[in-house]
Structure 1
Amino acid sequence: MPAPTDPPASSPPPVAAGPADPLAVIRSRGYLRILLLSGLIGIPVSAAAYGFLALVSWLQKFLFTELPGVLGLDGVPVWWPLPLLALSGLLVALSIRYLPGNSGHSPSEGFKAGGFPSPAELPGVALAALATLALGAVLGPEAPLIALGGGLGALALLLLKKDSPPSAVAVVAAAGSFAAVSTLLGSPLLGAFLLMEASGLGGAMLGVGLLPGLLAAGIGSLVFVGLDSWTGLGTFSLAIPDLPAFSTPTLAMFGWALVLGIVCPVLAWGIKAVSLLVRPAVHAHRLIVTPVLGLVVAALAVGFAVITGEDSSQVLFSGQSALPGLISDGAAWPVGALALLVVFKALAYGLSLSAFRGGPVFPVMFLGAALGIAAAQLPGMALVPAIGVGIGAMCVSMLRLPLTSVLLATVLLTSDAAAVMPLVIVAVVVAHVLTARLPEPPGRGLSRKQPAANVASG
């Protein structure tokens, strides 16, 4: 069976080979048509993304809380995640092996934007993501939504106009990705910024390339809000409510920001090493190894629950829905329980990166918040700045997107954002520089030595 190849990277709006005048492009009738199509296509794409997230949320609740009772069990047994994570691994492995395409890119390669799956590859992306997210693997929904949004956007344009040029298809596909993650991170602007920085758009044409996506993201956000008011299922938007007020950083807080800026890259390095060291075994025996890894992830969650008495869901899943509760209640946790949460979640995250399909953003935000809550008990530190610094430093250490990491860590802190931002910037800069200077994780060389067919198969 020939190895699938990665989809072509998406590009900015159609421009000439030489230097282009952004104002001339914006004034053109073709660009106005692209804007209109992006806005229109953003409506069904964002509705599909909302439905996908609603299905994931329903399946998580049913499988992990209601199914044991349906099967006649007395409550939810502590071992319950074990069969579900094994099933998750099997379904993801089968999807990657037998469905067209690669079921999305491997998250162990880092966050990627640009490119979009073909129509034939969309079922594989959706099924692998659903099996990963609903059955408890430690990955987030943002990468699958970006891929699905891009693929659906491109498909919609080609259905409307079969002879659309590749550059126009790429722009509308990018707009579909923007629409799909329009409210996932709490703001359409945050999702747009993440895609912009990850895809490397820049220069004089930056605004030209972003406008269709921003329009689709804004419309997508309205669709999410409207569907929430109609269904009552929620907006699936990350938000951290009821934070204590914070006004002024101190010298001690800057010192602890430097410390977290050093600690987080080391933790991220370890997570990447776990992922990359396991990947050769995944490539060689995917149908066997992936379910086994699912069992190990479940065992970590069960072990955490037995040792600490907390729920195993703190270790499982992306952490998107658990993050607000962790921040509101985590200050009452013993430091030892927080440390175990970081260790067990990090291991489960690294193993999930190696074989499953999903996004890397939410688990690393959860880890950063857990580190921040533990650091809040240090002399001279406070809860809100510690959370912001932890999220920012962990995000940049894993994603290598410094501007996005600053925004992720501050915008979510709502009214405290302005006061926290200087501390976050210090931590993000230190972590970003140290991440660049650390040696490559030991598994990186093994991953690069894989045969081309295995590398292509994720």
Structure 2
Amino acid sequence: MPETSAAPSPSVKSLLIMSVPALLIGAVSAIVLWLLDEASGLLQDLLWTTMPGWFGATEATPWWIFTVLTLTGAMVGLVVWLVPGHGGPDSATTELAETPPPLGALPSILLAVVIGLAGGVSLGPENPIIAVNGAIAVAAMARFAKAVPPTAVMTLATSATIGALFGTPVAAALLFTGAVAAVKGGGALWDKLYLPVAAAGAGAVTMHLLGGSSLAFHMTPIGQADGLMLLEGLLVAAVSAAAGIFAAWALPHAHRLFHSLRNPLLISLAGGVVLGLLGMLGGPMTLFKGLEQTGELINNPEDYTAGQLALWAGVKVLALVIAAAAGFRGGRIFPAVFVGVAIGLLAHALLPGIPVSLAVACGALGIVLVATRDGWMAMFVGAALVGDPIVLPMLCIIVLPVWLIVTKAPELVVKKPAAAAAAP
């Protein structure tokens, strides 16, 4: 074989030394996420459990849903318009990991996210909290360990936050495997993944110790797999991917429509009104980021009719598009998972022959593949949701043709104009 020049692998000593900041970044990132969850949870309880009783309503009362979401839109719009930092970058235009915002923008980002999460907006915390944790980590390392490149610090913060969000470092390891494999240079793959996995592991363990929620559930196992199940699973994943592709197509159009209002208050207020109407249609199950609601679907799949599941999936897709387009701050993975699970359960209701765990896993796989453009993440989410080891090898096959559908489809993100992207 011809000789190739390769960068030397890092020494054991350097990996050991860097493990300390990696573990610290992991723990701090999880604590920040936990504090965000706690703050939004307290406000959510006030808005949806305590206050409705003051007015003779419940969390499911249509006019209450409309009122809260409309006011949530107004409040987020005021933050983006008037609070220094303006809520950070528009979440509709950002990927999971971007250049961290300045520290001065963090209070406005956190305020906008807490209001949106508590108010029932159909977005998760992932994009903004990764930005916040990245900014904190980069600023801290610039002060105490200037030799560490900011890009490496951002990688650790992103890994740590993903580990905390999903309750396991495996998701971060899979997500960064593709990125690491694309980097030229020698050395063992695990030498490059060592520190991100350390940060993600610390984040996941810290989140568990703090009592945070997890994406992992358990469903009735498949038992004996057969070839027909592969075809049925592929059909479910393809339908779910189609729902995601529709959302990806609609997002830039909705984004342009809302942002034609120009003023951030008007943009998010209009979005809140539309979300309120959708919330009245879909009810409480279609509100919020969707993690708790996903658990309700998975834990009680027999409690819901095909009509309910179809309605909730459709409303949630629209709510995700509107929330992302109307200036709310948040990520798209968690609401997408809810849509995928609802589609999977709908498929099981219409095709009882397909095992419920396979239907749910494939439903999640399809739309998450669109939302993240990462097959590893899509397979991880699908397998983690159902806790059935037989599902994973089937997902490894099903993801291949679905990827062919997704790879040339629009991405679930609004592309920034070239001039805006180049601006500092």
Q: Partner of 1:211 in structure 2?
A: 194
Which among 225, 230, 239 is matched to residue 216 of structure 2? Answer: 239
Seen in structure 2, the aligned counterparts of structure 1 residues 409 and 105 have a Cα distance that, compared at 3 Å, is farther
Q: Partner of 2:62 in structure 1?
A: 78
1:115 Cα deviation after fit = 2.8
Write the letter of the residue equivalent to 1:238.
Answer: L
2:272 is equivalent to residue 294 of structure 1: yes
1:260 Cα deviation after fit = 2.3
Q: TM-score, normalised by structure 2?
A: 0.87
Q: Deviations over 1:91-134 (max 9, x none)?
A: 33333344555634444346432432221222232122212211
1:338 Cα deviation after fit = 1.0
> For residues 67 and 407 of structure 1, what CA distance do their matches in structure 2 show?
38
> For residues 49 and 207 of structure 2, what CA distance do their matches in structure 1 show?
26
How many positions carry a matched residue from both structures? 412
Q: Partner of 2:343 in structure 1?
A: 371
Which runs of structure 2 are paired with 1:299-318 in the superposition (5 Å)? 299-304=277-282, 312-318=283-289
Which runs of structure 2 are paired with 1:22-421 in the superposition (5 Å)? 22=9, 25-27=10-12, 29=14, 31-69=15-53, 71-76=54-59, 77-99=61-83, 103-109=87-93, 111-161=95-145, 164-165=146-147, 167-194=148-175, 197=178, 202=183, 204=186, 206-228=189-211, 235-241=212-218, 243-284=219-260, 285=262, 286-304=264-282, 312-355=283-326, 356-377=328-349, 378-414=351-387, 416=388, 418-421=389-392
Range moving further from structure 2, 263-272 or 336-345: 263-272
Write the letter of the residue equivalent to 2:271.
Answer: L
Range moving further from structure 2, 269-278 or 206-215: 206-215
Write the letter of the residue equivalent to 1:272.
Answer: A
Q: Which runs of 5+ in 2 are unaligned?
A: none
Q: Which runs of 5+ in 1 are unaligned?
A: 1-17, 229-234, 305-311
> For residues 264 and 423 of structure 1, what CA distance do their matches in structure 2 show?
16
Seen in structure 2, the aligned counterparts of structure 1 residues 64 and 192 have a Cα distance that, compared at 3 Å, is farther
> For residues 411 and 448 of structure 1, what CA distance do their matches in structure 2 show?
31
Which among 393, 400, 411 is matched to residue 429 of structure 1? Answer: 400
Q: Deviations over 1:233-257 (max 9, x none)?
A: xx2222314x213222222211212
Write the letter of the residue equivalent to 1:85.
Answer: L
SS of residue in 2 equivalent to 1:181? helix
Q: Contact 1:145/1:177 (CA < 8 Å) preserved in 2? A: no
Seen in structure 2, the aligned counterparts of structure 1 residues 112 and 327 have a Cα distance that, compared at 3 Å, is same
SS of residue in 1 equivalent to 2:217? coil
> For residues 217 and 407 of structure 2, what CA distance do their matches in structure 1 show?
30
> For residues 190 and 256 of structure 2, what CA distance do their matches in structure 1 show?
41
> For residues 216 and 142 of structure 2, what CA distance do their matches in structure 1 show?
36
Question: What RMSD in Å do the two structures reach over aligned CA positions?
Answer: 2.8
Q: Deviations over 1:326-370 (max 9, x none)?
A: 112233322111111111111111111212211111111111110
Using the aligned pairs only, state the percent identity. 25
